[in-house]
Structure 1
Amino acid sequence: MIVAAGVACPMQAHMAFADEAEACKAVRLSDLGWTDIALTNTTAELILGALGYEPSQTLLALNITFDSLRSGDIDVFLGNWRPVQDIDYKPYFDDGSVIPVATNLTGAKYTLAVPRYVHDAGLKSFDDLQRFADRLDHKIYGIEPGSNKPLLDMVEKKAHGLDGTWEVVESSEAAMLAQVQRAVETNAWIVFLGWQPHPMNVTMDMAYLAGGDAEFGPDFGGATVRTIVRKGYPEQCPNVTKLFNNLVFDIDYENAGMNMIMTDGLEAGDAAIKMLKANPQKLDAWLKDVQTLDGKPGLAAVKAELDIQ
């Protein structure tokens, strides 16, 4: 068969697609152990699996996530909270190790918080921390190592008038929230890292501290969340990248899904599929111009595989 210059024959096109499909079949996502990422990652996993891909999640600390994106060991991360991570991990963006592909959430926040009774008693700002150091046992409760850098830097620099006696307690989201719950049960004083979306905003009477602009940005740590991928991924795997470009959530959706996991005790997969079935219209936008692994229309395939009407 003779093929005109510049025109790919069907066999060549199929071989090129097959090569790309094989290289992109495994989609490796980072999981930080955060409930919001458990929901969004698992939602992505369900959709990717229905499209014929083989997604997987690996539990990593935040700093290891960025290192793994740089080394090519992880493909996708849905938890790039801005502006905090853009400051802390600026070199990775500057050298092109990570590529933003979408803002997947707006209206988020991320800063220090206290139970309402502590706020009402006078701890309303970062600048009030030192005044109540003894009542707080000189401790600030954070989450997993790698995610508390603004707090560690704040304590090291003795910002906001802090003396040298403060400790940032690093553990995990679940362990931190358990500590907060124990404190609330006895009206003990505690200051911790809080954020939205998260069921803590619904299940707990809490307040965010003012004055943390230098550490977390203005508007009580007002934030957006981006999806980032490793260098070269958009060119190598354009179909998967298109899905992640489309995969945009909202505060109400994430709060509802996370509440199913944390309050109702559902597994992340069960919560994700329940949210998808309750909001089938989201798939129309998420799967626009997205195909299955073997090149068929993605929306119909996903709805059929997941039994979504």
Structure 2
Amino acid sequence: MSRLSVQLPGLLLKNPIMPASGCFGFGEEFADKYDLSILGALVDKSTTLEPRVGNPSPRYFHSGERILNSVGLKNPGVEAVLAEKLPYLAQFDVPIIQSVAGSTVEDYEAAVAALSKAENVKAIELNISCPNVKQGGLQFGTDPEIAADLTRRCKAVTDLPLYVKLTPNVTDIVAVAKAVEAAGADALVLINTITGQTFDLETRKPVLGGVTGGLSGASVKFVALRMVRQVASAVEIPVIGVGGIETVDDVLEMMIAGATAVQIGSANYANPMVCKEVIEALPVRMDELNMISIEDLIAEMKAEIRG
């Protein structure tokens, strides 16, 4: 192992950096800018059983470092991802973490089972920040029992590690984290976007076509850091930190909070080279801070957090 490499259940990553789902598509837009093989892993766009056209426009609102998105899980569906997107990504020496979403438990099960068969998919990321149509639109991730049931049932249809991505839009994220850990999750990813809204002063109407949207950007980091530390203190499985990461210092701060690896999300929009730049800056910054290796930092923080 190199000084940058980290271990996640079922995966050995060359470094702890990966793009977050939804902010990197399926890699095509970035592959002409740098070799995607340098990434620790690549989390592709959340994929549903059937294609989705997403929410009506406008889907994005930018205000400085703050971003609201209301994409609505637009994706080509499982069949197209298996036939086109994953074969395209097979040219790169990088493990694929396949993000999966759905509207019913059965949709999730079918999508997880199908996508797990792709040779270059090495883990499944379960996006549970989705409306459960059988529960009146309540997000799967807001109720510990529902989240645990979904985790258990998806775990039963795949041989791959299952990483569950948690929503921050809850009163007690630790309760949800512990429930999905008990249900068999191999790792946790947090946080997803925070629900927000904005209005047009002239029309007095919501700006976004989907009315509400997911808040991301640099300011979200402080919420993510707090939740990563809370969850890392309460569970035994690894935590992958995401939310507001833009710089190498953000990466290291997230790992000090308790993350084993990190995902970079909205920063890819403003700077398509951000993942590459952070990976290259990591050993230099580690030298300045007298850090021997990422694994040593993880072990040090785990000992401190667990007491």
TM-score normalised over the length of structure 1: 0.27
Answer with 1 or 2: which has the greater Rg: 1
Specify which structure has the bigger relative contact order, considering alpha-carbon pairs within 8 angstroms and separated by 6 or more residues: 1
Q: Identify, as 1 or 2, the structure richer in helix.
A: 1
